[in-house]
Amino acid sequence: MLNVVLLGLVSFFSDISSEMVYPIIPLYLTGAFGATPALVGIIEGIAESLASLLKVFSGYLTDRYHHKKPVAFVGYATGLLYKFALILASSWVGILGARVIDRIGKGIRTAPRDVMVSESARAGSAGHAFGIHKALDMAGSAVGIFLAYLMLNRMNGGMDYHNLFWLSMIPAVLGLVMFFFIKEKKMEQPTRQREPFWKNMKQLNGQLKLYLLVAFLFTLGNSSNAFLLLRAKSVGFDDATVILLYFLYNVTASLLAIPVGRRSDRVGRKRVLVAGYLTYTAVYAGFAFANTKPLMIGLFALYGLYTAMIAGVERAYISEIAPPNLKGTMLGMQSTLVGIALLPASAIAGLLWNVFGAAVPFLFGALMSLLAAMLLIFFMQDQPKEAIPVA
């Protein structure tokens, strides 16, 4: 599990860097450049969707050439370019370009990193391994968010954003240093010529195809987290406190990721995934009608529980049922499908907010999540559980 921890530390430092910046982007766009919620949604949707197209190809190259560590390193190094682009941006178009650079990096690194986590896990404990990685990942997010909150408070809401962008580069460099300690598991090169990945789709388990479809449909209602921050602001939270709510979400997800991952090893992935989607349904229905600060605080904590139940568990599920020679491709495919769906998801959410008010996009998200849960309940088979050594 040492490799899992090291990979988790890479994500820990990288996410400190990213989350020092991410929660202030919608505030920066609306405050400095006068962007509307619809424009925020379009910017986030374009950035996520364009970059996510790379994820399946990154996974395919990982499967074909077995060079996971260098590919992941390049993806994480892109985070430094993202910060430089933010510093140079002078309009919302510049922010869009920076966000695309950031998401391209995520698109490159996600699949090879997840394959390394899967290969480093003990038999029957993939949920635990992905839980460890997710816990460190979300802990880094929480630290980054808290640092952004402290800087907002120190500047009394009138902070110099460029100083924050410069400071955020320090943990990004520390994350890259961690790569020198990671040992990549070497795989034997296949002797036969490999076919393009789209010709291997016939090898896929029907359950895997089902889950990819479910993930795509769910994401149509899973708009950018930027809307959660704007929703909290509409209830009366100021910029600094909105960031503190996002901190609460990340801390909750970090604390629960490992126990939830271990539970999925014991009771099966289906139960945890269904519970996660139902939790999301409740959370987004709550965001639609929340009009008090205490309720909003509780919803952000519950949103952290949803993330702990889905993010690591779905990666463990995909890595287990995908053909061994397509593991990276399928992890990338899932991320790509999600990314493709995020463009209409964020655009739809922004337009619904502008036309019908803040409640409607969240009700739409709750409905799509409920649909995803029902599909899993009625069509997803219970996965056989391997024997897991008791710690």
Q: Is 361 exposed, middle or buried (0-12, 13-18, 19+ CB in 10 A)?
A: buried
Mean per-residue pLDDT over the chain, rounded: 83
Exposed e or buried b per residue across 295-314, where buried means at least 16 C-beta atoms within 10 angstroms of its C-beta: ebbebbebbbbbbbbbbbbb
pLDDT of residue 368: 95
Question: Does 14 have pLDDT greater than 70?
Answer: yes
Question: Does 108 have pLDDT greater than 90?
Answer: no
286 or 47: which carries more pLDDT confidence? 286
Q: What is the DSSP letter of 200?
A: G
**Closest to 236 (Cα-Cα) out of 284, 289, 287, 293:** 293
pLDDT of residue 52: 66
Fold of 2-181+203-379: Growth Hormone; Chain: A; (1.20.1250)
Tally of CA atoms within 13 A in the half-sphere of 373 that contains its CB: 21
Phi-psi group of 381: left, alpha or beta (phi > 0 → left; psi -120 to 50 → alpha; rest → beta): beta
pLDDT band (50, 70, 90) for residue 390: very low
The rounded distance, in Å, linking the Cα atoms of 129 and 365 is: 29
Q: What is the DSSP letter of 91?
A: S
Instruction: Give me the count of residues in the chain.
Output: 391
Mean pLDDT is lowest, of 186-190, 335-339, 361-365, for 186-190
Q: What is the pLDDT of residues 112-148, one digit of tens each?
A: 888 888 888 887 788 899 899 989 998 998 898 888 7
pLDDT band (50, 70, 90) for residue 383: low
Q: How far is CA 233 from CA 31, 230, 285, 291, 294, in A?
A: 12, 5, 17, 11, 13
Contact 85, 98 (CB under 8 A): yes
Q: What is the pTM of this model?
A: 0.78
